[in-house]
């Protein structure tokens, strides 16, 4: 019997026995739960799901999910996932990683994944810090955060606005979740998987170890009510006015999905004919 | 023995003069007439309409590289020709075809011994509506070579098929007018040449790599454009589509290498092509393929380096990077095609080895192969074991990196029930779970290394051409694109009475040391020949103890090609010509 025929209803069935390396209280635990919950809800066969990641604390996630997975190299999660999805369109491909992985070293791929619009879900666990390398500023860190020895006066650089950039780059599904609200997050993940195209979920996922002040997020994050928006101009204004603490599906719009074109019917021998004198 | 029926012709011209088109037409015409040929290109730095030169060589046998000198030079104009003078060595009997009306040749040209054939190319072109000097020039060459109007007709039809009727008929008329400029009754230069009757191909080195990739089963390519690899990608894009594959233009080489790793993880043989700057960006991704045991093939079409270097010209200077580039102990394979035809075989073999051994293979082609076009015998299909070992009907716990006698662990392809695992570039245990334990590291390092070292690569690791003598006077040891030139040099040495062995290495890493030792045994004098400044191959062989201490080195950088005479002179110490 194929596993796809088996009844997989419990989220915990999608967890492996590998023990997460995460610190107690790390927001990434909730993301892991939300993913397994979404997979269980959708009754996806384990072997038909692939979780792809880069490098960072958050990027360790695939090993904890009992699906296919690839823990790649720092910043390259999106091309790794794109290559897989292009050749295996029937798989459910979920890319995951941190803010450093996705917006700094992988920033170029981020923009191009938004505009290429290959059908996949991308979950960014944004803790506004580099957790794995022990607490340096990330692209989403506030300019005046001076707790890292590497930038003792703060970065002095205004933070990267991932959602505005995703919108400008052409993403059609833009959401923000919060580790403190795993139910909402798993709903967002289901919607993202169902969305045909590149779906971005930015998750506010606290790093209590290097950003203990993020424990306060549970008092700051709120579900936004006037969303989702479908018009890019409105969405741009909304995002510009937002303080980064509103959660929910912010923008939803259909865009043409990248698809490989085939005109099949030829053989290699046909192709070799062209060389003949 | 050296085969003498051959002729070398250069065509040069400034932007828009149509030197490249002229070369393509002449190559096709000589093919139609039953001959073999080779066309190499040299371009100036301009993007469009820059000066360019085509270096043609024709023969009644298959050619493997450029000659020492050019017999004919068709100069469509003299603008910026200084850029090419070095690349067009002449001899006392060389003839330069040009039109006094196009101006004075520079001193670098008039200072040579060659004779000028002054023809009114320009005026003749003006007599034909839409006639162009390059077509008149080919007409002259066609007549000298003994090509018929009918042959030129066919060649034009084929080469200019997308240019429309008007251009085709104007070109033909101009060619015929050019043919009339050559006195009738003059003996054609190909008078005593044998005419081939069998089938032949007109194929470029980049197309040959592309074809080898498809034969090896590649159905996914991701790449970022770069000279001189782009035309391989442009050939692959439509042809992959025809057989159900996909080419994706990536945002950069960091993306393309990771895309092919992802696609290969998905079970599809995948490849990327690039040149030096792109290879530099790909190294971390290549290491990921090695560590995660995901098969990939990277074709690196080398150009002059370092940095942006000389994008349009050839050099074999990326060997060190291909061998040692990825960080950590990252055993992988490095192969090099020995010429245009061989690019089909070598690329196919590289893909097959990647698939079979679940590792990364790097193919070192270069501009002199990639952007050259040749008339060759058809390259037959070679039977190779290309299949990847996959895990099916999994029962019990699946261990992705399980230890096996040959080091190859069956790979579960996503979609396979009970095969779920996470591929990882982090060191891992047999199951794939990240591990920093010494024991796991040792076991996996050994596994990844041994699976390559234990493989029997058979006889294809090198092409060895030996004389009957038990012990060769000279042994020429070389690799990649310059193998053809070395073989021709060896032929001349044999004509002078020496016994010569040529060992042209195709599989550079892992180098089959015992076979190498056997091939070299007894040679009295060994010369290692390569096209780079720092003798990378020579030092690699020395580091492996693969060659004796008294072996010598002929290493010369690009952009000028190595020539057969150089091999002869270096070996004998005598001045050639
Ligand atoms: C090419 C490369 N550069 C640097 C690193 C070191 N490195 C590992 S993870 C990381 C940042 C991780 O931050 P983020 O992506 O935000 O993930 P988090 O650990 O916070 O979840 C860095 C810089 C690396 N592994 N590879
Ligand atoms: S360092 Fe921060 S991000 Fe990393 S596991 Fe610990 S809490 Fe999570």
pLDDT of residue A2: 45
In angstroms, what is the span from residue A40 Cα to ligand 1's centroid? Answer: 30
Give yes or no for residue A101 CB within 6 A of ligand 2.
no
Q: In whole angstroms, what is the distance from residue B197 CA to residue B214 CA?
A: 28
Q: Which phi and psi angles does B544 have, rounded to 5°?
A: -90, -5
Separation of CA A150 and ligand 2 centre (Å): 18
CA distance B568 to B486: 9
Q: What CA–CA distance (Å, rounded) separates B98 from B96?
A: 6
d(CA A70, CA A73): 9
Q: At what angle do helices B276-292 and B253-265 cross, to 10 degrees?
A: 30
What ligand 2 atom has the least distance to the C-alpha of A23? 6
Ligand 1 binding pocket includes A92 (Cβ within 6 Å): no
CB contact under 8 A, A277 and B378: no
Q: By alpha-carbon position, which residue is closest to atom 10 of ligand 1?
A: A56
Provide the shortest C-alpha distance from residue A51 to chain B (in Å). 8
Residues 6+ apart with CB under 8 A from A94: A35, A49, A50, A51, A52, A81, A120, A121, A122, A123, A189, A193
A69 forms bridges with which residues in the sheet? Answer: A51, B422
Least confident of A91-105, B156-170, B466-480: B466-480
Q: What residues pair up with A68 in beta bridges, in sequence order?
A: A50
Distance from CA of A158 to the nearest CA of B (A): 26
B381 C-alpha to ligand 1 centroid (Å):
46
Find the CB nearest A83 among B261, B287, B416.
B261
CA of A56 to the centre of ligand 1 (A): 5
Does the CB atom of residue A118 touch ligand 1 within 6 A? no
B222/A83 Cβ within 8 A:
yes
Q: Where are the domains of chain B?
A: 6-198, 203-376, 389-455, 461-572
d(CA A180, nearest CA chain B) in Å = 27
Distance from CA of A2 to the nearest CA of B (A): 6
For Cα atoms B32, B33, B34, give the angle at the middle one, nearest 5 degrees: 90
The DSSP H or E segment spanning B462 is strand B462-465
Q: Is A18 exposed, middle or buried (0-12, 13-18, 19+ CB in 10 A)?
A: middle
Ligand 2: nearest atom to the Cα of A210:
2
pLDDT tens digits, residue range B318-358? 999 999 999 999 999 999 999 999 999 999 999 999 999 99
Cα(A193)–Cα(A199) distance, rounded to whole angstroms? 7
Residues above pLDDT 70, as percent of chain B: 98
Going residue by residue through chain A, which has 277 residues, state the pLDDT in tens, using 9 for 90 and above. Answer: 344 445 557 999 999 999 999 999 999 999 999 999 999 999 999 999 999 999 999 999 999 999 999 999 999 999 999 999 999 999 999 999 999 999 999 999 999 999 999 999 999 999 999 999 999 999 999 999 999 999 999 999 999 999 999 999 999 999 999 999 999 999 999 999 999 999 999 999 999 999 999 999 999 999 999 999 999 999 999 999 999 999 999 999 999 999 988 877 899 999 999 999 9
Q: A29 C-alpha to center of ligand 2: Å?
A: 10
* A262 → chain B, closest CA residue: B241
- Nearest one of A63, A182, A229, A39 to A121, comparing CA atoms: A39
Quick one: average pLDDT of B227-235? Answer: 97
Residue B251 to residue A62, Cβ atoms within 8 A: no
Q: From atom 1 of ligand 2, which residue's Cα is the shortest distance away?
A: A131
CATH topology of domain A3-273: Rossmann fold (3.40.50)
How far does residue A106's CA lie from ligand 2's centre (Å)?
Answer: 20
Cβ atoms A179, A205 nearer than 8 A: yes
Long-range contacts of B402-407 (CB under 8 A, 24+ apart): B402/B430, B403/B430, B403/B443, B403/B447, B406/B451, B406/B454, B406/B455, B407/B447, B407/B448, B407/B450, B407/B451, B407/B454
SS3 readout for B513-539: HHHHHHHHCCCCEEEEEECCCCCHHHH
Cα A135 to ligand 2 centre (Å): 9
**Chain A contact set for B423 (CB, 8 A):** 69-71
Instruction: Say which residues have a Cβ less than 8 Å from residue A99's Cβ, sequence separation at least 6.
Output: A124, A125, A126, A127, A128, A129, A138, A139, A140, A162
- Report the C-alpha gap between A234 and A229 in whole angstroms: 7
Confidence at residue A88, expressed as pLDDT on a 0 to 100 scale: 98
* Closest residue to B239, CB basis, from A69, A261, A271: A271
Distance A100 CA to ligand 1 centre (A): 6
Rounded to the nearest angstrom, the distance between the alpha carbon of B407 and the centre of ligand 1 is 31
- The answer for residues whose C-beta is within 8 angstroms of residue B37's C-beta and 6 or more apart is B27, B30, B31, B56, B57, B58, B59, B63, B374, B375
From chain A, pick out residues whose CB is under 8 angstroms from the CB of B278. Answer: none
Is residue A8 lining ligand 2, measured as CB closer than 6 Å?
no
Residue B73 makes CB contacts below 8 A (sequence gap 6+) with B9, B10, B11, B12, B88, B90, B94, B95, B96, B97, B114
Ligand 2 atom 4, closest CA: A131
The pLDDT assigned to A6 comes to: 53
- Identify the residue whose C-alpha is closest to ligand 1 atom 4: A74
Contact B422 A51 (CB under 8 A): yes
Q: Do residues A125 and A203 lie in contact, with contact meaning Cβ atoms separated by under 8 Å? A: yes
Rounded-to-10 torsion of CA B332, B333, B334, B335: -170
User: Is there a contact between B270 and A62 if contact means CB atoms under 8 Å apart?
Assistant: no
3-class SS at B281?
Answer: helix
* C-alpha pair distances (Å), A136 with each of A55, A132, A189, B437, B541: 15, 9, 29, 27, 45
B102 versus B544: the higher-pLDDT residue is B544
Ligand 2 neighbour A135 (Cβ under 6 A):
no
Ligand 1 atom at minimum distance from A58 CA: 21
Chain B: nearest CA to A232, how far in angstroms?
24
Q: Is ligand 1 within 6 A of the CB of residue A138? A: yes
**How high is the pLDDT of residue A1?**
37
Assigned token pair, B139: 């007409």
Three-class secondary structure of residue B341 per DSSP: helix
> Tell me, which fold does domain B461-572 have in CATH?
Rossmann fold (3.40.50)
Does the model's pTM come out above 0.95?
yes
- Domain coordinates of chain A in residue numbers? 3-273
Torsion angle, alpha carbons of A169, A170, A171, A174, to 10? 80
Q: Is A99 in the pocket of ligand 1 (CB under 6 A)?
A: yes
- Measure the CA–CA gap between A56 and A139, rounded to whole angstroms: 14
Average pLDDT of the residues of chain B: 95
Ligand closest in space to the Cα of A21: 2
- Nearest-CA distance from A273 to chain B in Å? 9
pLDDT tops 70 at residue B168: yes
Please check the confidence at residue B577 and state whether its pLDDT lies above 50.
Answer: no
**What is the number of other CB atoms lying within 10 angstroms of the CB of residue A43?**
10
The response to whether residue A133 sits with its C-beta less than 6 Å from ligand 2 reads no
Q: How far is A242 from chain B (nearest CA, A)?
A: 30
Q: Which CATH number fits domain B203-376: 3.40.50.150, 3.40.190.10, 3.30.56.10, 3.40.50.970?
A: 3.40.50.970
Pocket test of ligand 2: the residue of A27, A59, A101, A210 to mutate, having most ligand atoms within 8 Å of its CB, is A210
Q: What is the mean pLDDT of residues B43-62?
A: 84
Give the CB-side neighbour count of residue A126, counting CA atoms within 13 A.
Answer: 28
Q: Residue A86: which of B258, B263, B425 has the nearest Cβ?
A: B263
What pLDDT, in 10s, does the model give residues A149-163?
Answer: 999 999 999 999 999
Helix ranges, B79-229 (H): 82-85, 107-110, 121-126, 133-145, 149-159, 165-180, 205-215
Among candidate residues B407, B414, B425, B361, the one with its CA nearest the CA of residue B391: B414
Ligand minimally distant from the alpha carbon of residue A141: 1
Size of interface A-B (CB pairs under 8 A): 184
Q: Which residues on chain B are in Cβ contact (under 8 Å) with A76? A: 254-255, 258, 285
- Asked if A38 contacts A191 with a C-beta cutoff of 8 angstroms, the reply is no
Q: Are B417 and A88 in contact (CB < 8 Å)? A: no
pLDDT value of position B3: 59
Specify whether the CB–CB gap between B359 and B448 falls below 8 A. yes
Report the CATH architecture of B6-198: 3-Layer(aba) Sandwich (3.40)
B102 burial (CB, 10 Å; 0-12 / 13-18 / 19+) is: middle
Tens digits of residue pLDDT in B433-458: 999 999 999 999 999 999 999 999 99
Q: Which residues in chain B have their CB less than 8 angstroms from residue A62's CB?
A: 422
Write the residue with the smallest CA distance to atom 6 of ligand 2.
A23
Mutate to test the pocket of ligand 2, among A56, A136, A205, A209 (most ligand atoms within 8 A of CB): A209
For ligand 1, atom 25: residue with the closest CA = A74
Which bin fits B548, alpha (ψ -120 to 50), beta or left (φ > 0)? beta
């Amino acid at each position: 019997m194929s596993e796809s025929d088996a009844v997989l209803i419990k989220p915990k069935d999608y967890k492996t026995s590998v023990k997460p390396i995460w610190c107690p209280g790390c927001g990434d635990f909730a993301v892991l739960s939300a993913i397994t919950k979404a997979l269980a809800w959708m009754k996806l066969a384990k072997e038909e799901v692939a979780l792809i990641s880069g490098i960072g604390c958050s990027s360790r996630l695939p090993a904890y999910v009992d699906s296919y997975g690839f823990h790649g190299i720092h910043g390259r999660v999106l091309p790794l996932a794109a290559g897989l999805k292009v050749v295996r369109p029937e798989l459910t491909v979920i890319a995951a990683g941190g803010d450093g992985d996705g917006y700094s070293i992988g920033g170029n791929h981020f923009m191009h994944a938004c505009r290429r619009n290959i059908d996949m879900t991308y979950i960014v666990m944004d803790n506004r810090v580099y957790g794995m390398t022990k607490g340096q500023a990330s692209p989403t860190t506030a300019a005046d955060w001076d707790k890292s020895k590497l930038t003792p006066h703060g970065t002095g650089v205004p933070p990267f606005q991932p959602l505005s950039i995703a919108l400008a780059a052409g993403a059609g599904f833009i959401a923000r979740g919060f580790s403190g609200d795993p139910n909402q997050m798993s709903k967002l993940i289901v919607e993202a998987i169902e969305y045909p195209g590149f779906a971005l979920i930015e998750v506010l996922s606290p790093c209590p170890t290097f950003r203990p002040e993020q424990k306060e997020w549970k008092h700051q994050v709120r579900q936004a009510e006037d969303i989702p928006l479908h018009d890019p101009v409105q969405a741009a204004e909304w995002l510009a006015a937002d303080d980064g603490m509103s959660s929910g599906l912010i923008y939803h719009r259909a865009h043409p999905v990248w698809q490989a074109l085939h005109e099949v019917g030829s053989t290699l021998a046909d192709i070799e004919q062209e060389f003949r004198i | 023995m050296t085969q003498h029926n051959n002729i070398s012709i250069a065509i040069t011209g400034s932007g828009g003069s149509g030197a490249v088109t002229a070369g393509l037409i002449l190559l096709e015409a000589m093919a139609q007439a039953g001959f073999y040929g080779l066309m190499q290109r040299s371009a100036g730095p301009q993007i469009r309409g820059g000066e360019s030169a085509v270096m043609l060589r024709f023969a009644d046998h298959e050619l493997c590289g450029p000659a020492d000198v050019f017999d004919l030079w068709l100069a469509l104009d003299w603008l910026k020709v200084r850029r090419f003078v070095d690349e067009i060595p002449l001899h006392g009997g060389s003839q330069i075809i040009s039109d006094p009306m196009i101006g004075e040749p520079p001193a670098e040209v008039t200072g040579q011994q060659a004779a000028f054939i002054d023809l009114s190319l320009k005026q003749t072109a003006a007599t034909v509506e839409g006639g162009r000097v390059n077509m008149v020039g080919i007409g002259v060459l066609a007549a000298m070579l003994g090509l018929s109007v009918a042959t030129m007709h066919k060649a034009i039809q084929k080469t200019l098929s997308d240019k429309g009727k008007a251009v085709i008929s104007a070109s033909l008329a101009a060619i015929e007018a050019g043919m009339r400029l050559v006195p009738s009754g003059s003996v054609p230069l190909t008078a005593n040449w044998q005419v081939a009757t069998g089938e032949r191909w007109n194929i470029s080195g980049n197309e040959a790599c592309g074809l080898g990739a498809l034969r090896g089963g590649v159905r996914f390519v991701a790449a970022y454009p770069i000279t001189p690899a782009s035309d391989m990608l442009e050939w692959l894009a439509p042809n992959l589509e025809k057989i159900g594959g996909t080419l994706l233009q990536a945002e950069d080489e960091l993306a393309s290498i990771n895309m092919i790793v992802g696609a290969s993880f998905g079970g599809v043989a995948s490849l990327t092509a690039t040149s030096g700057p792109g290879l530099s960006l790909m190294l971390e991704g290549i290491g990921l393929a090695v560590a995660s045991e995901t098969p990939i093939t990277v074709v690196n079409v080398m150009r002059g380096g370092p940095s942006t270097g000389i994008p349009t010209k050839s050099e074999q200077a990326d060997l060190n990077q291909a061998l040692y580039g990825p960080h950590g102990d990252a055993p992988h394979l490095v192969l090099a095609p020995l010429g245009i035809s061989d690019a089909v075989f070598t690329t196919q073999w590289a893909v097959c080895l990647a698939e079979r051994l679940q590792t990364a293979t790097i193919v070192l082609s270069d501009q002199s192969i990639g952007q050259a076009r040749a008339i060759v015998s058809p390259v037959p299909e070679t039977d190779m074991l290309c299949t990847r070992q996959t895990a099916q009907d999994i029962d019990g716990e699946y261990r992705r990196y399980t230890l096996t006698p040959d080091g190859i662990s069956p790979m579960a392809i996503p979609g396979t029930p009970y095969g779920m695992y996470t591929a990882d570039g982090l060191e891992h245990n047999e199951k794939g779970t990240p591990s920093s334990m010494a024991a796991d590291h040792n076991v996996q390092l050994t596994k990844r290394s041994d699976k390559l070292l234990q493989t029997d690569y058979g006889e294809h690791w090198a092409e060895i051409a030996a004389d009957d003598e038990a012990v060769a006077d000279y042994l020429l040891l070389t690799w990649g694109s310059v193998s053809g030139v070395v073989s021709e040099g060896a032929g001349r040495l044999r004509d002078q009475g020496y016994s010569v062995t040529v060992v042209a290495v195709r599989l550079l890493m892992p180098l089959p040391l015992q076979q190498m030792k056997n091939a070299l045994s007894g040679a009295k004098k060994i010369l290692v020949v390569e096209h780079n400044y720092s003798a990378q191959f020579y030092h690699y062989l020395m580091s492996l103890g693969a060659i004796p201490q008294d072996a010598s080195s002929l290493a010369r950088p690009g952009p000028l090609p190595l020539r057969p005479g150089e091999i002869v002179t270096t070996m004998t110490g005598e001045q050639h010509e």
